[in-house]
């Protein structure tokens, strides 16, 4: 599957990226960074460093938006650390980011590829994709599908009671992407909080010895820092990659949704005139964790 990953790495982003780079069923044709968990300079560098860790110097990456379409930026530095990687050391990038920036990079790749052949895996705020839709609508319309981690349907939010971080960080971008022409599969907290790793799971993962597995185990261990009383941690963003490759692990429902940009920014509101979105509402978590661990354990 030909994919471009749009991301704000971020610990769980990093695990999803490592899985995508290890799994030969994915052809990763680029990574675009967006500000979210941490600022754009750091998320961009982390994208380059994760590619370097996997010896993927041939894969391009680009810096995207430094903040939301409107309003002030928020971040998750408290969870992901000042470096976004929880203090886990990564190699320096093998190449510089694309000089053109994310929107131009995405537009060029989409215009080169046959229509409907590139899937966007969105792991952060949807700012870059909204900008692409605004600035290069012809290229945007060529996206096969956007699979995005974000939002909550019934679960309590993680940015206040109603909103999830990726939606809250840029609700206007999310609303514009929802209302756009490209089909969207959304994976909300209702599902991503079910895919969890315990310290014992991490020992099992690290035992495989591949770079993707050992690095992921270190990154998820860092996710416990400051949350040492937790017995497990959620693996939000890797759900996007699993949905792309293993959709039978999920149960989905079609919903009409819009994104609240005012009272509770980022809250998903069911609305008759809302965008039609395929929303993952169930996951076979044990099988999904096995699939994730198996992909991270593939020797490249």
Q: Whole-number minimum distance, CB 45 to ligand BDR, in Å?
A: 16
Catalytic site includes residue 80: no
Site membership for Ca ion, residue 266 (CB under 5 A): no
Q: Is 34 among the residues that bind ligand BDR (CB under 6 A)? A: no
User: If binding is defined by CB under 6 A, does position 166 make contact with ligand BDR?
Assistant: yes
Q: Pick one of 74, 139, 149, 220: the residue that binds ligand BDR (CB under 6 A).
A: 149
164 in contact with ligand BDR (CB under 6 A): yes
Which residue in 5, 6, 10, 289 binds ligand BDR (CB under 6 A)? 10
Q: Which is nearer to ligand BDR, 139 or 244 (CB)?
A: 244
Of 80, 154, 236, 264, which residue is the catalytic one?
236
**d(C-alpha 235, C-alpha 192), whole Å:** 6
Which member of 13, 170, 218, 278 binds ligand BDR (CB under 6 A)? 13
Using CB under 5 A, which of the segments 41-49, 101-109, 152-160, 237-245 binds Ca ion?
A: 237-245
Specify the residue, 166 or 175, whose C-beta has the smaller distance to Ca ion: 166
Q: What are phi and psi of 28, to 5 degrees?
A: -85, 115
Query: Which is closer to Ca ion, CB of 10 or CB of 86?
Result: 10
Query: Per CB under 5 A, does 13 bind Ca ion?
Result: yes
Among 68, 124, 151, 265, binds Ca ion (CB under 5 A): 124
C-beta of 225 vs 299, nearer to ligand BDR: 225
Residue from the set 76, 170, 260, 278 that interacts with ligand BDR by CB under 6 A: 76
Size of the site for ligand BDR (CB under 6 A): 14
CB neighbour burial string for 150-182, b if at least 16 within 10 angstroms, e if fewer: bbbbebebbbeebbbbbbbbbbbbbbbbbebeb
* CA pair distance 214, 297, nearest whole angstrom: 9
165 binds, among Ca ion, ligand BDR, none (CB under 5 to 8 A by kind): ligand BDR
Should residue 165 be labelled a site residue for ligand BDR when binding is judged by CB under 6 A? yes
* Catalytic residue set: 236
Residues that bind ligand BDR (CB under 6 A): 10, 12-13, 37, 76, 123-124, 149, 158, 164-166, 236-237
Which residues are near Ca ion by CB under 5 A? 8, 10, 13, 123-124, 237
């Amino acid at each position: 599957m030909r994919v471009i990953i749009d991301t704000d790495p971020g610990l769980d982003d990093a695990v999803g990226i490592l899985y995508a780079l290890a799994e030969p069923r994915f052809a990763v044709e680029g990574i675009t960074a967006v500000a979210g968990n941490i600022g754009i300079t750091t998320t961009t560098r982390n994208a380059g460093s994760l590619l370097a860790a996997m010896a993927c110097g041939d894969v391009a990456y680009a810096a995207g938006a430094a903040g939301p379409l409107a309003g002030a930026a928020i971040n998750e530095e408290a969870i992901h650390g000042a470096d976004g990687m929880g203090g886990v050391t990564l190699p320096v990038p093998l190449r510089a980011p694309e000089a053109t920036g994310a929107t131009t990079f995405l537009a060029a790749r989409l215009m080169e590829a046959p229509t409907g052949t590139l899937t966007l895996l969105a792991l952060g705020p949807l700012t870059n994709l909204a900008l692409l839709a605004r600035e290069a609508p012809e290229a945007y319309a060529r996206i096969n599908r956007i699979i995005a981690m974000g939002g909550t349907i019934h679960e309590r939010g993680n940015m206040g009671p109603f909103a999830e971080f990726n939606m809250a960080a840029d609700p206007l971008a999310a609303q514009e992407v929802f209302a756009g022409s490209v089909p969207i599969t959304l994976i909300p907290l209702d599902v991503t909080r079910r895919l969890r790793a315990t310290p014992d799971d991490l020992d099992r993962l690290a035992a495989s010895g591949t770079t993707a597995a050992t690095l992921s185990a270190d990154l998820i261990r860092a996710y416990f820092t400051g949350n040492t009383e937790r017995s497990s941690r959620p693996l939000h963003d890797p759900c996007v990659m699993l949905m792309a490759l293993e959709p039978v692990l999920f149960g989905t429902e079609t919903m009409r949704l819009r994104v609240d940009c005012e009272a509770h920014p980022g809250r998903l509101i069911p609305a008759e005139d809302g965008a039609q979105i395929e929303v993952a509402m169930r996951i076979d978590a044990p099988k999904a964790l096995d699939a994730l661990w198996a992909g991270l354990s593939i020797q490249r």
